[in-house]
Amino acid sequence: MRWFVLCVMLVIGGAREGLTAELVMVESPGCEWCELWDQEIGNIYHKTDEARIAPLRKVDMADVDELDLKGIRPVIYTPTFILINKGQEVGRINGYPGDDHFWGLLDLLIAKLDVKTNKNRDKS
């Protein structure tokens, strides 16, 4: 299912065309779940179709208020993965539920991004 959704987005939506999406990972020093994500996914994320749609940006929890992330809901714990498109929060994954669950949840968020992108194009 994951590959199907991504392929449809790449073919129909022109996934990077005019899209300003990113996946923001909010982390904190000593966070063992952040470290586990880095070990299991962090080294390969940049090579995936998901990264072409939503490149990863890591942000320290202490720096969230100082960055251009004013339009997002507060982050309570780490890791938190926030899918942002054009400065707006599309959705988030709170915590790291493991490799399989992470990819499935990220695919659901990316599918929302595609719907929002298509709605924005329809208004043009």
Instruction: Enumerate domains of the chain plus CATH numbers.
Output: 20-92 (3.40.30.10)
Burial bucket for residue 68 (CB in 10 Å: 0-12, 13-18, 19+): exposed
How far apart, in whole angstroms, are the C-alpha atoms of residue 76 and residue 72?
12
Per-residue pLDDT band at 20 (split at 50, 70, 90): confident
Weakest-pLDDT range from 8-12, 93-97, 111-115 = 8-12
Per-residue pLDDT band at 104 (split at 50, 70, 90): very high
Give the per-residue pLDDT at 74: 87
- Joined tokens for residue 77: 């714990």
Question: Phi and psi at residue 47, in whole multiples of 5°?
Answer: -95, 0
DSSP assignment of 38-62: IIIIITTGGGSHHHHHS-EEEEEGG
Give the per-residue pLDDT at 73: 85
Per-residue pLDDT band at 107 (split at 50, 70, 90): very high
- Joined tokens for residue 122: 């329809």
